[in-house]
Structure 1
């Protein structure tokens, strides 16, 4: 297939209409920049789990059983820590804080709950107001308070759950306690709703309560748990300036010319504007995973820019003119750039099969960015270089150096020749050793683990000290109070969890309530028991509790309870109507839908158990309901997400490898008539992928929802390096013998690859400074994948190309010659 006419056409515009090309690209940049203002951001883990059946069930729960979601409630947690939070001063501190918070109108307080309240009510059951509870504690002696604490611990299980695990009944002491403030949220405010994160309505509630706590007493032991920090913006603020400085330094070393450096930087900036303008125009939200897109595009852009400029300089130092040098350059690098673009785009687009929406968005964004990178560095940068060098011939534009980066006589050139020396002396033995080592590493790599946890999205409580030396505008906070308090809660309180069971079925059917109740009989190990039944809250428990407190409603239940077990099994519509009159419509609506087509059962589970065990048990209980039932809740959602992580990693890797391999085979068949080069091109990438996964296991890094894309990225970036070597080798091999062609390829291309690798590793590796731990690990993995891809291309690929030339290329040529002879004979 003759494709040269297309390259010649592009060359014509680049060389003969360079200024026009530059203006067109600048105008396109203005158009894309219009989308930057439309970018919306998303943070937290909800974006990764919103498509899971269990999360959709949670949304169904919120829709069907919110007491009316036009007026929902939000909560704030107060954490008190002291030598003994059950001492008289500590109890008074909490009660007075609750009183002041409740009297603050902007906080719209609906209710407060604390262990201090329970102790006060135990001292004086008639103390219904906070003021009366404060007086009850003030009048009590320390001995009376201790006895009240013991009685409260015996009578109320909820009292113990509000205290830290070191609660000592005998000494009536504990080092920490929690209190809850419930706020009326108001129309359209939303609710906490589980994994999605807490509502910030009323506005600034944490700051308002903080002021109350500090004003109440300067020595207060109470802290306010706010909302999880959004580290996306903070990470970008810290990382991008540092990455830019490192990239400029590395590009200065690679280009060693101010004008060429500015051209390369202009290409990178345009690529980022086009890419993020694109996501603004098409409505893709900026989520935490997209933080990795700029470093990836910068990496590929740097590589393209250095290769284009370096190849152009190779011709210029021979005395070739500007136009002819650029034509020779684009003839060679355009094909390589197109191959890299195609394979990288396939790698990134493989993520569209992911179960996680942000991963799909990442794949589309990165693929679009790679296409933009190809256009800008394949057309705009060469056209700009031509325009500038023509101006240099007319005007005294300063030129520092125009020599290529790396030569055979330079120290770098000699170092790069190491792989060629191996290929000359023992290529077969070396490749065999590589295959055996890769196989062993592959076996080791199968032990890599997966993980999905809220901790993946949460920064460390204290930021590293070295970040505090950054300038004020980009300096992150010294500590994240939310994380510090949340860690304290994890360490000091029993983690009691919940499984929400969303049940769909005819709730007016006589057997409906019996079925709901019987599903909790003989509960599985992770479910908390009340005797032989699971501890739960449902429409059944609401009916039973109100039957004990309302004699008239009890008579309705008894009339419709045919087997006398306290659970109605006849004329349920009448029972529901009586319950609404007794308990209130809102209480019923929390557990039974208005249409009586769905119900909610809330089971208490052991929060210290593994999520997979809780999920398995939850589905076992769901199977006993004999209605359509979907378990949900944090444990179930995160376990289902975890199960999808490895599935997504494997699917995207297989799709990437198969797609990239077929693409390379097709392209090399079209361009060179040698499809086997595509296979040779893929081998170093397989080694890179295996080495990367083995390194993950070695360093204890788990696959998660964020770094699950790393293998597709490793393939996309890794092929970049091997393509440049293979494509340059084919051109050199057409004019020279095998070993001189190989040495010229590795030294000539290797210089640009080295500059690209160093710039990328340092530029992307700066993500290790990210405050979001998952993003930091992601940056390290990208840097490792680039380093491994570089090493395999420089050290291993030369031996593979020697074996290809000896055993494959000769056969292909022989078959081609035989085919031509047969054709001539006919």
Structure 2
């Protein structure tokens, strides 16, 4: 045990002797950090999570191997047309005219356009190769001729696949169809994730403005629209959540402080903590992502708690008619140690996330930890100095105080309610702790079944926004988001168009005669999640390129036939010659997308059901890869997302263990160092373990998965939960060591500290719970679970901690008595 009071007295002495100097130093520091605010960039979407993933690196290798060098990247725009009958003459003319306008605009960099309408026009007149000619053909044809041509064209399954599931070939009728426009745009990434900016964004947003001329309903969809909405949803969420949080927090702070000047000081302190934190982000070049939207509410949670404790403890002294300077020295002496314990454990809780393999979670842990350190400095040093300085000015100029009674003061209704834990501690502490233990085990066991999730949809706005959001005035009213609605529509109405894919990356000697037969046979008897056609998996590979080119070029078809022993259209001999001919043909670009120049690497892309579970798709993809005689690895967007989902789960468990162990060691060490009672650190942990079990069980019960953001909640619950229990335990230790008996010390603790904890809990659960109205689902879920963690932490700190302290006192007193009795 060390005499820490010497250092605390020095700090309190400096703050009370030079409050103006302290204030000036903090505002200078604010100017320094404020300079970093202009350097903050944004990073949205799933790519931030997949960039460092081994699965993503494997997919990048595939894309690099099979993308021709120095070739401009291509992107595509889907035109989703809905009409009473998209195969009618007017509807098809709408589609062709829109595609023609897109092709005619240079800024859209369009290279080709295809649609059912285009195929129908060429069925009517095979020589109509341009969109202008196809429009002219349809305009000059009668409805009956158009209907007959449409019936003939849709006999081709590839054409019919562009029509919705309700397509009826006999009546030649369908409610929706998809047209595709291809673009050549440099800089398009082929990563699994989608970032907040994309070269396709401006193109597809511009195309959106062109659809209003069509009589039918045509929606623009593609990676650019997804990227645009991912970026916009951050701004809209902040604009919606921050004012709502500020309004609710301000209302509770008015009630808690009950003095406008104290309220102003608290708000200024919160502002400084946030400016310092975001300024640090800018100076450290850490981009602002969806995950970091949660940092300001977290800082508000801890800052509000510190502020209320500082002001409340100061008021406890002032109501005893103690002068401002000694009152503030007592406040600093007692709270600086409690704040240090809370800060240390909270920082450890957040830093535990740095052990994650995912970059955004690492950034979140680092920024939150640094923010908590800043909050400690602001509320542990600046606020006491500012409060004392203002009170001295009040006395000098006779400015009245509006309210000075501390929350939870002796005899008040709140103090009596908060004493329930003390009452339990008097009557049946052991029995209650046994009940708590059973509840913890049951809730924790149930919580182990919580789901994990990672998908692009986690970051996209919901299909339908709540009505009240659309009633908000500008600028708080969120924008119109269509991506999720369009994704769901495509998934529900089209069989294969929205199917995801699994890529099998193959390495081996592809010159062996049986290689192509092996690739061809691998599609037989496909797993359930693979889309099938004629009992074969729907796929594209070097084999399909060979078959497609053979259908176009008689000379190449003859070469294939001469080397096809079993007559199934797949060459068995002289594969070197087949590859050489293919790579020197007009389809060489397509061929190089499936085989490398050294003929040692290839890929097969299998289409899978869009609504299939990630686990099933990945398992089926690996099963198909394992069938191959050569080395085969399953990859693709779904495989990457599944890998990230698994990493999220492991990160949650890993950060939980690290945070729990680090916190336990810190508490045991610090209580032994400061109080000479390491066992108080164990008592401090009891309510945290209960909180974690209740939180995990609640997440499973409410169907909230461990996703990219909620995966941090277990470590955060430790950090924030310690905030509450540490205040109770440390205040109890102070009161108990100053001569109060056990129950008197507990009553003083829950009456004084409990009042500040109540104000903090109400304010921060409301401020964080408001994230539930955020447009992004992942943020809403995070707000709910964080608010739950704070409520559980508050409840266990005031209900579980007092009985635990009673049992602790009896055990330690018994050990002391036994030691005294047995000593010679």
SS at match of 2:322: coil
| Aligned counterparts of 1:398 and 1:599: Cα–Cα separation in 2 | 81
Contact kept in structure 2, 1:665 and 1:679, CA below 8 Å: yes
Name 2:397's counterpart in structure 1.
395
Shift of residue 181, structure 1, vs aligned partner: 0.9
CA RMSD between the two structures:
2.5
Name 2:203's counterpart in structure 1.
205
Name 2:237's counterpart in structure 1.
235
| Aligned counterparts of 2:504 and 2:633: Cα–Cα separation in 1 | 6
Name 1:190's counterpart in structure 2.
188
Of 633, 655, 658, 1:655 maps to: 658
Alignment of 1:738-817 (within 5 A): 738-807=742-811, 809-814=812-817
Structure 1 runs (4+) deviating above 6 angstroms are: 558-565
Alignment of 1:377-776 (within 5 A): 377-477=379-479, 479-494=480-495, 495-507=498-510, 513=516, 515-531=518-534, 533-554=536-557, 557=560, 567=570, 574-594=577-597, 596-734=599-737, 735-776=739-780
Shift of residue 253, structure 1, vs aligned partner: 1.4
Task: Go from structure 1 to structure 2 and tell me whether the alpha carbon gap of 1:26 and 1:743 turns closer, same or farther (over 3 Å shift).
Answer: same
Alignment of 1:314-333 (within 5 A): 314-333=316-335
Name 1:162's counterpart in structure 2.
162
Shift of residue 315, structure 1, vs aligned partner: 1.4
| Aligned counterparts of 1:749 and 1:160: Cα–Cα separation in 2 | 70
Shift of residue 591, structure 1, vs aligned partner: 1.9
Shift of residue 62, structure 1, vs aligned partner: 2.8
| Aligned counterparts of 1:542 and 1:210: Cα–Cα separation in 2 | 34
Shift of residue 573, structure 1, vs aligned partner: 5.1
| Aligned counterparts of 2:771 and 2:538: Cα–Cα separation in 1 | 46
SS at match of 1:629: strand
Shift of residue 507, structure 1, vs aligned partner: 4.6
Shift of residue 5, structure 1, vs aligned partner: 2.8
Contact kept in structure 1, 2:549 and 2:587, CA below 8 Å: no
Name 1:176's counterpart in structure 2.
176
| Aligned counterparts of 1:313 and 1:60: Cα–Cα separation in 2 | 64
Shift of residue 715, structure 1, vs aligned partner: 1.4
Q: Does 1:224 align with 2:220?
A: yes
Name 2:117's counterpart in structure 1.
116
User: Which deviates further from its counterpart, 62-71 or 797-806?
Assistant: 62-71
| Aligned counterparts of 2:487 and 2:300: Cα–Cα separation in 1 | 37
| Aligned counterparts of 2:201 and 2:728: Cα–Cα separation in 1 | 58
| Aligned counterparts of 1:733 and 1:371: Cα–Cα separation in 2 | 29
SS at match of 1:204: helix
User: Which deviates further from its counterpart, 640-649 or 674-683?
Assistant: 640-649
SS at match of 2:49: helix
SS at match of 2:634: strand
Name 2:26's counterpart in structure 1.
25
Shift of residue 816, structure 1, vs aligned partner: 7.0
Contact kept in structure 2, 1:419 and 1:799, CA below 8 Å: yes
Shift of residue 520, structure 1, vs aligned partner: 3.5
Task: Go from structure 1 to structure 2 and tell me whether the alpha carbon gap of 1:803 and 1:193 turns closer, same or farther (over 3 Å shift).
Answer: closer
User: Which deviates further from its counterpart, 289-298 or 144-153?
Assistant: 144-153
Name 1:263's counterpart in structure 2.
265
SS at match of 2:800: helix
Name 1:150's counterpart in structure 2.
151
Shift of residue 340, structure 1, vs aligned partner: 0.9
Contact kept in structure 1, 2:253 and 2:263, CA below 8 Å: yes
| Aligned counterparts of 1:460 and 1:723: Cα–Cα separation in 2 | 39
Normalised to the residue count of structure 2, the TM-score between the two structures is: 0.93
Deviations 1:63-93 (A, max 9, x none): 2223446511111111111111112221122
| Aligned counterparts of 2:818 and 2:287: Cα–Cα separation in 1 | 53
Deviations 1:137-163 (A, max 9, x none): 334444443433333333x22212211
Alignment of 1:282-361 (within 5 A): 282-361=284-363
Contact kept in structure 1, 2:50 and 2:192, CA below 8 Å: no
Shift of residue 570, structure 1, vs aligned partner: 6.3
Structure 1 segments unaligned to the other structure (5+ residues): none
Contact kept in structure 2, 1:15 and 1:327, CA below 8 Å: yes
User: Which deviates further from its counterpart, 42-51 or 133-142?
Assistant: 133-142
Contact kept in structure 1, 2:503 and 2:605, CA below 8 Å: yes
Q: Does 1:56 align with 2:54?
A: no
Shift of residue 569, structure 1, vs aligned partner: 6.2
Contact kept in structure 1, 2:47 and 2:192, CA below 8 Å: no
Shift of residue 296, structure 1, vs aligned partner: 0.7
Contact kept in structure 2, 1:468 and 1:475, CA below 8 Å: yes
User: Which deviates further from its counterpart, 745-754 or 645-654?
Assistant: 645-654
Task: Go from structure 1 to structure 2 and tell me whether the alpha carbon gap of 1:341 and 1:199 turns closer, same or farther (over 3 Å shift).
Answer: closer
| Aligned counterparts of 1:40 and 1:569: Cα–Cα separation in 2 | 55
Contact kept in structure 2, 1:520 and 1:533, CA below 8 Å: yes
Deviations 1:283-341 (A, max 9, x none): 22111011111111111011011111111111122222223222221221111111111
Contact kept in structure 1, 2:541 and 2:604, CA below 8 Å: yes
Task: Go from structure 1 to structure 2 and tell me whether the alpha carbon gap of 1:548 and 1:95 turns closer, same or farther (over 3 Å shift).
Answer: closer
User: Which deviates further from its counterpart, 375-384 or 14-23?
Assistant: 14-23
| Aligned counterparts of 2:160 and 2:376: Cα–Cα separation in 1 | 63
| Aligned counterparts of 2:176 and 2:557: Cα–Cα separation in 1 | 41
Contact kept in structure 2, 1:108 and 1:202, CA below 8 Å: no
| Aligned counterparts of 1:532 and 1:482: Cα–Cα separation in 2 | 33
Task: Go from structure 1 to structure 2 and tell me whether the alpha carbon gap of 1:18 and 1:571 turns closer, same or farther (over 3 Å shift).
Answer: farther
| Aligned counterparts of 2:557 and 2:261: Cα–Cα separation in 1 | 88
| Aligned counterparts of 2:546 and 2:131: Cα–Cα separation in 1 | 30
SS at match of 1:77: strand
Shift of residue 725, structure 1, vs aligned partner: 0.4
Aligned residues: 814
| Aligned counterparts of 1:590 and 1:507: Cα–Cα separation in 2 | 15
Shift of residue 724, structure 1, vs aligned partner: 0.3
